[in-house]
Structure 1
Amino acid sequence: MRTRTMSGVYLPGDSTAVLRELPVPEPGPGQVLLEVGASGICGSDIGYIYHGHKGHRGVDGPAYRGVVAGHEPSGRIVAAGPGCRRFGEGDRVIVYHIAGCGLCDNCRRGYFISCTAPERQAYGWQRDGGHAHYLLAEESTCVPLPAELSYVDGALIACGFGTAYEGLRRIAVNGDGDLLVVGLGPVGLAAGMIGRGMGARRVVGVEVSAQRRRWADGLGVFDATIAPESSAEQTAALVADAVGGQGALTTIDCSGSKAGRATAIAGAAEWGRVSLVGEGGTLETEVSDALLHKQLTLYASWVTSLTAMAGLAVNLARWGVRPEQVVSDRFPLEEADKAYALAAGASEGKVVLVPGEPL
């Protein structure tokens, strides 16, 4: 019997993406096989895998284990292994990008991302991910994809929108105050869209890149987008003018930069709540005037839980918010090298791989 094969994208760590042929996997107990509808390219993949930068979660060197890349997949289940009870053939799902042990306290709360068991595996890092025609996934990591949302929507929820949502949940964004988003890359754009859905009175963005500010303006989500000044305090004054007050009650830094974090803190109003979700870099702040005297609360957040991700998908459908609006470029698997080069360089918004019909 002839073994079915498929194409998959691998990242050698030298700023290239290569396509290889591999067998289509068969689902085992508790596993499902997805026909991938879309798979996003994440900023963490670019830095830690694509460019081969050292260090991730305390690992000396990239934690990538030479598997099919991509931890932002969604698709349709085409086969279910023995013991699957919730999902079956034909179901449309998002894949939470970590398969945890399922037994530790973090896993039992749905935060597979924080599982520290040896068997913890991230899709696209330690086990084959979504940059392929098919993906073998644990049923326990699947989240229903509402009919109102596309596979591209689902791919964005799988990481970036989930990360933004968790950060906004921590600071309880609502209609009582304004929201400041610092860094208008894909996660920052997601934060703006979700913050609007959660009822933020006004949503203001700060972004260095004029190109990204123009892209954000075109979404119709932000009340204002601001180019940062030479100091966080000067930028905060512009934010205060934009919201007509003393600053934003809730702020979120998605830039992962020292300057961006300083802006999120300076731009917060008294008794404000600040969320940090951007990876990397350092945090440097004056304490008394910047934090204590303003009575600020800082929250740090690393991805969302499986249960919150499922709730987010339902909320997005209810709000009429389509994550795919932040996508500026779509590529087939065969053009993965071009897609990664764009995502690592001058892309306006999110870059997504859409595998198309399997061979």
Structure 2
Amino acid sequence: MATMKSVQTGGVGRIEVVDVERPVPGPKDVLLRIRAGGICGTDVTFLHMGGMPARAHLGGELVPLALGHEPAGEVVEAGAEVMGLKVGDRVVVNPQDAPTGIIGCGGRYGALSEYLLIENAQVGRSVAVFPDTVPFEVAALNEPMAVSRHAVNRSQAAPDDKVVVFGAGPIGLGAAIWLKLRGVGHVVVADVIPARLEKALAVGADAVLNSAEEDVTARLTELHGQSANALGQPRPGTDVFIDAAGAPAVFNTVVANARWHARLVMVAVQKKGEIDLGGMLRSELTLVASQGYPTEIFEVTPELVEHHERFARLISHRVPFADVHRAFELALTPGAAEKVVVTFDA
């Protein structure tokens, strides 16, 4: 029996690298050799939990969870019935298309493994092929950038809109890139970490705002002009707010600064907090939730390929699989890293 190494949860705040059976592809499957895989905030959440409940709705005990849902790899075996894929193709993956459960999020397989089985492999549905001009670690951004793209699509931001993105992590910075590629005229990125704000400017934001040190209202008014809410009270002229931070303070800040008919797109996982419904009423603020990537998973791939050098700036750490414990230590330490990508030897 051939084996491979795979990363799974090993209790609260810990991972384990285990030897598991290497999957054997059936006639409709392909086997990938993973070459790079990102670590997501969802992976960190699973580690904080210590695994996944065996029967979540019944509060079952935690069981180990295979981690990783942001892979890029190359086809090493292809079943006889697979169409449009061949050995050597470089692909990114739709983790939600696996019939045995979402890859790395409770499904049978995790992508932080040496090999990954793609069941019922189909180009444009379960995988997309990308050229060798794009490094594997940049291609591994395909999944999180689809999350960002969905948030921007949900915002319906137009070229003459003025937008602020709260949170300069990978999702927020990705949103800033997509907004500029969409032709949006003015994009501000707000965060509390100066290095992240520098990166926001590097990827194309028009301005940045340190919300820990600056008066948000004054700065947005300076950048976007003055408008008003439904009662005529002065507000910045910001049209669209995107919350990629998930902190209650962000939601409150948006409500306090929303002009009449502003829109707030909520893409970050929200923390519990009180909501000023009266403030939302006074601005007729539209709240739009953004979850995952219903259609965007491969919509983003051609532009990721075209602008791969720009997206590469989002990666803060490239860590070899042999040192995967350090990769997760970085991801688990607040402020230590922005986007960690684990790389696998060729």
Q: Please tell me the TM-score bracket, short chain as reference.
A: 0.7 to 0.9
- Residues 1:261 and 2:254 aligned together: no
When the two structures are aligned, how many residues end up with a matched partner? 332
Counterpart secondary structure, 1:248: coil
Supply the distance in 2 between the matched residues of 1:226 and 1:56 (Cα, whole angstroms).
43
| Structure number with higher relative contact order (C-alpha < 8 Å, ≥ 6 residues apart) | 1
Aligned amino acid, residue 195 of structure 1: L
Structure 2 CA distance for partners of 1:266 and 1:83, relative to 1, 3 Å: farther
Q: Which runs of 5+ in 2 are unaligned?
A: 227-235
C-alpha displacement of 1:190:
1.2
Q: Deviations over 1:211-232 (max 9, x none)?
A: 4334434x2422222222599x
Contact (CA 8 Å) 1:54, 1:60: kept in 2 or not? no
Query: In the aligned structure 1, how far is the partner of 2:250 from the partner of 2:282?
Result: 21
1:295 to 258, 265, 284: 284
Q: TM-score, normalising length from structure 1? A: 0.82
1:235 equivalent to 2:216? Answer: yes
Q: Residue 129 of structure 1 corresponds to which residue in structure 2? A: 110
Secondary structure at the residue paired with 2:302? helix
RMSD of aligned Cα (Å):
2.9
Q: Is the 8 A contact 1:250 1:274 kept in 2?
A: yes
Aligned twin of 1:108: none
The 3-state SS of whatever aligns with 1:251 is: strand
CA distance 1:50–1:192, change in 2 (3 Å): same
List per-residue Cα deviations over 1:209-263 (Å, max 9, x = no partner): 334334434x2422222222599xx523322323344232122101112112223
- For 1:127 and 1:147, the matched residues in 2 are separated by 29
State yes or no: 1:20 paired with 2:5.
Answer: no
* Preserved CA contact (<8 Å) 2:130 2:305: no
Secondary structure at 1:309's aligned position in 2?
coil
CA distance in structure 2 between the aligned counterparts of 1:190 and 1:67, rounded to whole angstroms? 27
Asked if 1:44 corresponds to 2:42, the answer is yes
> What secondary structure does 1:260 align onto?
helix
Aligned-pair distance for 1:100?
5.5
Q: Which residue of 1 aligns with 2:232?
A: none
Q: Does structure 2 conserve the Cα–Cα contact (< 8 Å) formed by 1:47 and 1:53?
A: no
Residues 97 and 336 of structure 1: CA distance in aligned 2, closer, same or farther (over 3 Å): same
Aligned match of 2:86 in 83, 88, 99? Answer: 88
Unaligned runs of 5+ in 1: 102-118
User: Identity, % of aligned pairs?
Assistant: 27
**Structure 1 residue 43, shift from structure 2 partner:** 0.7
Partner SS for 2:178:
helix
**SS of match in other structure, 1:323:** helix
- Which AA in structure 2 matches 1:133? E
Match of 2:230? none
Where does residue 5 of structure 2 map in the other structure? Answer: 7
- With structure 2 as the length reference, what TM-score do the two structures score? 0.85
1:164 to 1:58, Cα distance in 2 relative to 1, 3 A: farther
Larger radius of gyration: 2
CA shift digits 1:20-55 (9 cap, x unpaired)? 223322112422111112100001110223552888
**Equivalents in 1 of 2:309, 2:95: separation in Å?**
22
Cα distance in structure 2, aligned partners of 1:73 and 1:255: 24
From 288, 293, 298, the counterpart of 1:304: 293
